[in-house]
A and B are shown apart, each in its own frame.
Chain A
Amino acid sequence: MNMIVCCKQVLDPEAPPASFKIDPATNKVVPPPGVPPVISPFDEQATEAALRIKDKLGGKITVISLGNNLARDVVKKPLSMGADELVLLEDEAFEGGDSWSTAYALAMAITKIGEYDLIFCGRQAADWDAGQVGLGIAEFLGIPSVTVAKKVEVIDTKARVERVLSDGYEVVEVTLPALITVSNELGQPRYATLKGIMVAAKKQPIIWKPANIGVEPSQIGATGRRLKLFRLFQPVKEAKCEIVGGDSPAEMGINLALKLREAKTI
């Protein structure tokens, strides 16, 4: 099994909402000081999905991350979990892309890698929440895709995927090669082992510039966008919460119920 996992480095989505800031002049998010970036959580689950297949059938897992100035200890995490190879599409020209230009560059890199049976992506990246790049890569490569997987198994020449629906799930069989996007229902990604961390520390990522994958800088990153960002802003919220008092928790409970009756919500 040759597998590829696309992992994006993002701002930590679990950082406290109060620390979230935008620079209106540049339409960009200001990274909160002291909060390191992370691999987008669904991408860790995508890595886990590939590792579970490798555990059973063996094979090679290549991770690709696209961006600029990527933090090595962050993007190496999938290696420390058990992935084999790391390819970084790292250049200024890759920055500021939308789903279109990102999927295009990733598809070109995957074409260069050449051999693959399964490609995994997260269902959506935790920064822009687009949820498109996986399907886009599949369209570029002309391969089938299945989204929001909670379980993936390979049986002969097919993958059997449990796909999450709003009222349950369906089991889908897809011919290989295929692209699968993974959701949190897959379960906890494994922790890095000490040995894994040591192996990852020594491993040099392969770095590709636009020319290495045969793309023009104008087709990728911010200049390759099809969706123009017009404005980025924080919705204003006025705190108006009325906290009920009480001498004991039980009294608070009673007062809260009375409040709701008073406000005619019950």
Chain B
Amino acid sequence: MAEYKGVMVFGEVAEGKLASITTELLGYGRQLADELNEELSCILAGNRISGLAQEAIAYGADKVYIADDPQLSDYQGDSYSLVVAEIMKENPPRIMLLGQTSIGRDLAPRLAFKFQVGLAMDCIELSIDPNSKLLQQTRPVYGGNAWATFVCETFPQMATVRQKAISSLERNESRKGEIIPVTVKLDPARIRTKIVDRVKEEVVGIKLEDAQVVVSGGRGIGSPEGFKQLEELARILKGAVGATRPPCDNGWVPTTWQIGLTGKIVTPDLYIAIAVSGASQHLAGCSGAKTIVAINRDPEANIFKEARFGAVGDWKQILPAFTEKIKELVAE
């Protein structure tokens, strides 16, 4: 087998474009590749995606492996892991990065076990140890109560990276790179799953992941009606509404609104947490916000350790006046 060399990222495509996690991974990968003085390559898999190869180069890749095939139009663990493992075998990377997304969470462990190596999921910091040249992988553990740094001494060294843990590089159209088409040979007998339906939650208004303002409610909101008041505030601030896990589990709001470790990661300018206790698993999804504001009747609630501004009291009595005043200020 060839020598393990370079940094490789698995890129994702969303709605015909490079997903934001892909440009973030390329940014991270570029930094590590430069430090090692090695190449950065990117795998893109899907159907009719060849046009995106140049994009990946513009965001930092030196080489792009393109697996463009109708059989890859939907992500499936079996098909994607076979195709990606094949590319990794032919071009063994020193470091392999994926995103901590629906796809990356499913794909990365499959690859790690195929290659019989360790894998650190959901990393927020990656660095190269100057002496050993090994990758140091730091990730939150225990729901975010602690951080752990791991090192893996076998290759490829694999990690998934939390979304929005790093900002992408500027797009540079003049960058040059090599595009390598990959022939996809999939034995249908090895694809043991079949997607028979897909149900998409319709989003009205601004997408939670993209919103500059997020108004988020916790268990203390108590009902679907309560969330209507949060939606009103979000509308005034041109933001989106999110939630902790209990309102989702209780069916007050769609499950796609969940923010946190196992939900969405948001990094708005303003995050307004109402009747949210601030469990570490929830903070994992919002601690990247520029300013956190909390309304909670418990002065000891953990959310006040993370918040910049707060009000202590019953949200039902505080929120109407707050919303009214915000409306007035925004209109000025």
Question: Could you list which residues of chain A lie within 8 angstroms of chain B, going by C-beta atoms?
Answer: 11, 13-14, 16-18, 20, 22, 29, 98-100, 103, 123-124, 126-132, 135-136, 139-140, 144-148, 150, 160, 164-175, 178, 183-185, 187-188, 225-235, 237, 239-244, 246, 248-261, 263, 265-266
Contacts and interface: CB of A to CB of B under 8 A. Distances in A.
Contacts of A150: 255
Contacts of B17: none
B150 interface: yes
B232 to A, nearest CB: 14
B204 to A, nearest CB: 13
Interface string B49-78: 000000000000000000000000000011
Interface in B250-303: 255-256, 261-262, 264, 269-270, 278-281, 290-291, 293-295, 299, 302
Contact of A135 (B106, B145, B309): B106
A139 B325 contact: no
Interface stretch (B2-10, B27-35, B112-120): B112-120
Contacts of A139: 109-110, 113-114
B311 interface: yes
B326 A260 contact: yes
B304 A241 contact: yes
23 contacts: A17-B280, A17-B302, A18-B302, A20-B145, A100-B112, A100-B113, A129-B122, A135-B106, A140-B113, A144-B192, A160-B196, A183-B262, A227-B119, A235-B147, A240-B308, A241-B309, A246-B311, A249-B311, A253-B318, A253-B325, A254-B322, A255-B311, A265-B270
Interface of B: 77-78, 101-102, 105-106, 109-110, 112-114, 116-122, 136, 140-143, 145-154, 192-201, 203, 237, 245, 248-249, 255-256, 261-262, 264, 269-270, 278-281, 290-291, 293-295, 299, 302, 304-314, 317-326, 329-330
Interface of A is mostly: mixed
Nearest to A165: B102
A128 B148 CA distance: 9
Query: Which residue, of A20, A233, A250, A256, has the highest number of chain B Cβ atoms within 10 A?
Result: A256
A249 B237 contact: no
Contacts of B196: 160, 171-173
A18 to B, nearest CB: 8
Contacts of A188: 249
A16 B303 CA distance: 12
Contact of B322 (A187, A233, A256): A256
Contacts of A256: 293, 295, 309-311, 318, 322
A29 to B, nearest CB: 7
B318 A249 contact: yes
Contacts of A173: 193-194, 196
A257 B329 contact: yes
Contact of A175 (B101, B122, B192, B290): B192
Contacts of A144: 77-78, 192-193
A147 B113 CA distance: 15
A168 B329 contact: no
Nearest to B140: A129
Nearest to B129: A230
Contacts of A146: 77, 193
Nearest to A251: B321
Contacts of A232: 141, 146-149
A261 to B, nearest CB: 5
Contacts of B78: 144
B175 to A, nearest CB: 30
B330 A266 contact: yes
A61 B324 CA distance: 56
Given A171-B199, A249-B318, 10 more contacts: A145-B110, A146-B193, A165-B198, A169-B198, A171-B198, A226-B154, A241-B304, A241-B308, A252-B322, A259-B309
B310 A243 contact: yes
Closest 10 CB pairs of A and B: A227-B118, A253-B321, A253-B322, A226-B118, A249-B317, A257-B325, A144-B192, A139-B113, A250-B321, A135-B109
Nearest to B245: A184
A166 B142 contact: no
B252 to A, nearest CB: 14
Nearest to B201: A168
Contacts of B280: 17
A148 B269 CA distance: 30
Given A230-B151, A266-B330, A129 B101 contact: no
Contacts of B270: 260, 265-266
Contact of B262 (A16, A124, A128, A260): A124
A250 to B, nearest CB: 4
B110 A135 contact: yes
Nearest to B303: A241
Contacts of B142: 11, 13, 20, 29, 127-129
Contacts of B116: 100, 226
A130 B149 CA distance: 13
A20 B281 CA distance: 14
